[in-house]
Amino acid sequence: GITVRTYQRWIENGEVQDDGRLHAKRAAPANKLTQEEREQVLAVTRQDEYKSLPSSQIVPALADKGTYIASESSFYRILHEEKQQHHRGRSRAPKPKQQTTHTATGPNQVYCWDITWLPGAVKGFYFYLYLILDIYSRKIVGWEIHGEESSEHAATLVRKTHLREGVGTRPLVLHSDNGSPMKGASLMETLYKLNVVSSYSRPRVSNDNACAESIFRTCKYRPDYPCKGFEDIDAARDWVLKFVHWYNHKHKHSGLKLVSPSERHNGLDEEIMEKRKAVYKAAKARNPNRWSGDTRNWDLPEVVSLNPEKDHEKLKNVG
């Protein structure tokens, strides 16, 4: 049975409303294929003339003969439901490549790097900013500007950064996209000598190196960024030097709960967060009625992933 309130809600507009329950039985959509049409689809795909063709070719072939049964997507869906949509041929079935991901529990464990173009004073002329970012602290740990893209320049930057950060023999992952400087022989040899593990984005996937893309956007949307271009390479280097200092030491990073990358990199974030917690706790004690629950969460994640994997089970259970 149903409650009185449910019945009242059903008829509140003067007529019985449709059953809104999730598992209620509903009338079939007006555009749904009939059982006869489904059987026609299966019968056609089993004919010798069409059994070796994909649905994307069967439907136009039928149209050339003046026949239309259903759309290509309907053909694919019906064959899939009937377990007749399988990979055929001698070639291997395509497999989706898993997202590249690495985790860091502290600084100097996982770096990402990329190259971006900085405009020169003449249209079509660019300088190239090479930049390495620590994904745990979001600190810019290395950068250089050159007049061309080169694996040799990248190798030099990695070598300098590795030495300056004191990585030594500790394991380190360096992630990048699939550009030619990222896979050049000079850089590969340097990574091998330094015992650095190389990691690459999936082909044709633009957001597998999101941290590097994000820092470049932050850079180019600064109020003082010279949109009309840099006069020369020295001007570009001077500007980027100031930007890196601001970003590492002054910028309160939203992804780090408003501590600077340098503070996170040097382990000062814990003390800062404890002070913030104490301030919020004292404020709640003074005016408890202004707080409906806990105070703001100032805990930073202990593990940071390059590309966090989705929790598929969690997604399935939503709703």
Burial 34-45 (b: 16+ CB within 10 A, else e): eeeebebbeebb
pLDDT band at 204 (very low <50, low <70, confident <90, very high): low
Predicted confidence (pLDDT) at residue 315 exceeds the cutoff of 50: no
Predicted confidence (pLDDT) at residue 275 exceeds the cutoff of 70: yes
CB proximity list for 262: less than 8 A, separation 6 or greater: 137, 139, 248, 249
Predicted confidence (pLDDT) at residue 157 exceeds the cutoff of 50: yes
Q: What is the pLDDT of residue 312?
A: 39
- Rounded to an integer, what distance in angstroms lies between the CA atom of residue 228 and that of residue 15? 65
- Rounded to an integer, what distance in angstroms lies between the CA atom of residue 267 and that of residue 286? 31
What is the separation of C-alpha 102 from the centre of its chain, rounded to a whole number of angstroms? 13
* Strand ranges, E, within 193-260: 196-200
Q: What is the mean predicted confidence (pLDDT) over 19-48?
A: 86
Q: What is the pLDDT of residue 22?
A: 74
Running DSSP on this structure, what letter comes out for residue 129?
E
Predicted confidence (pLDDT) at residue 119 exceeds the cutoff of 70: yes
Contact indicator for 266, 284 with CB cutoff of 8 Å: no
Which helix (H) or strand (E) segment holds residue 283: the answer is helix 269-286
More confident residue, 21 or 298: 298
Instruction: Give the position of tokens 């020369």.
Output: 232
- Rounded to an integer, what distance in angstroms lies between the CA atom of residue 92 and that of residue 295? 55
**What digits encode the pLDDT tens for the residues 80-118?**
999 988 887 777 877 776 656 789 999 999 999 999 999
- Rounded to an integer, what distance in angstroms lies between the CA atom of residue 212 and that of residue 209? 6
**Would you state the structure tokens that stand for residue 250, as one six-digit string?**
């002054």
Running DSSP on this structure, what letter comes out for residue 91?
S
Q: Looking at 23-37, 129-143, 162-176, 294-308, which range is the least confident one?
A: 23-37
Q: Which domains does the chain have, with CATH numbers?
A: 33-86 (no CATH), 103-254 (3.30.420.10)
Contact indicator for 26, 18 with CB cutoff of 8 Å: yes
- Rounded to an integer, what distance in angstroms lies between the CA atom of residue 246 and that of residue 167? 24
Q: What is the pLDDT of residue 170?
A: 94
- Rounded to an integer, what distance in angstroms lies between the CA atom of residue 113 and that of residue 182? 9
CA atoms within 13 Å, Cβ hemisphere of 45 = 26
**What digits encode the pLDDT tens for the residues 216-231?**
999 999 999 999 999 9
Q: What is the mean predicted confidence (pLDDT) over 227-239?
A: 97
Predicted confidence (pLDDT) at residue 205 exceeds the cutoff of 80: no
Q: Looking at 5-14, 40-49, 69-78, which range is the least confident one?
A: 5-14
pLDDT band at 313 (very low <50, low <70, confident <90, very high): very low
Contact indicator for 262, 272 with CB cutoff of 8 Å: no
pLDDT band at 209 (very low <50, low <70, confident <90, very high): confident
Q: What is the pLDDT of residue 311?
A: 40
* Residue 91 CB burial class (10 angstroms; 0-12, 13-18, ≥19): exposed
Q: What is the pLDDT of residue 243?
A: 98
Percent pLDDT > 70 in the chain is 92
Q: Residue 144, SS3? A: strand
- Rounded to an integer, what distance in angstroms lies between the CA atom of residue 36 and that of residue 277? 67
CA atoms within 13 Å, Cβ hemisphere of 43 = 7
Q: What is the pLDDT of residue 316?
A: 39
**Would you state the structure tokens that stand for residue 24, as one six-digit string?**
């209620």
Q: What is the pLDDT of residue 319?
A: 34
Helix ranges, 72-147 (H): 72-81
Q: What is the pLDDT of residue 57?
A: 92
Q: What is the pLDDT of residue 23?
A: 78
pTM, full prediction: 0.69
**What digits encode the pLDDT tens for the residues 57-83?**
999 999 999 999 999 999 999 999 999
Percent pLDDT > 90 in the chain is 71
